[in-house]
Structure 1
């Protein structure tokens, strides 16, 4: 039987994906969304992504539905994403915001 000691727990490497996201804001959520387009799916300006694929990655990152709605609203307001029915298109400004 393996028992972790306090020393082993103190040496654990933090998960930077979640550690960086401890403070939520509409802008941070929007940047994460456009980052999913660019860094996860490798999309370029003008390319689109189905909402279902975007939300699947969002929830894999353990983010809430409220954060998704807030981020989408901010991204649309900044014209980083444009809605296309069941998808969103990445704009040049959105691509720049993700990089």
Structure 2
């Protein structure tokens, strides 16, 4: 035995998975895989299934969800306090994101 050589191990080498990948299941074909999400414009995580090539979204993360709710409620309070105020584009986008998130969470049950 060479003293400069490390001892031979019977265990296979440990492989570290990419930190950006998450275990997900495709809602179309029920295939489980690990994938890196692609963020959409409103912050949803979008995955592409390797088995059926369908794209699907996951609900918002907790940080995005809390931010959207706080900003949306603040926008509504501002509209209520100022008579004649109209919702702007950002308010509408936040409302779309919150409604889409609620739908995705309901669908994942």
TM-score normalised to structure 2 length: 0.27
With the length of structure 1 as denominator, give the TM-score of the two structures. 0.29
Q: Name the larger-Rg structure.
A: 2
Bigger strand fraction = 2
Higher helix content, 1 or 2: 1
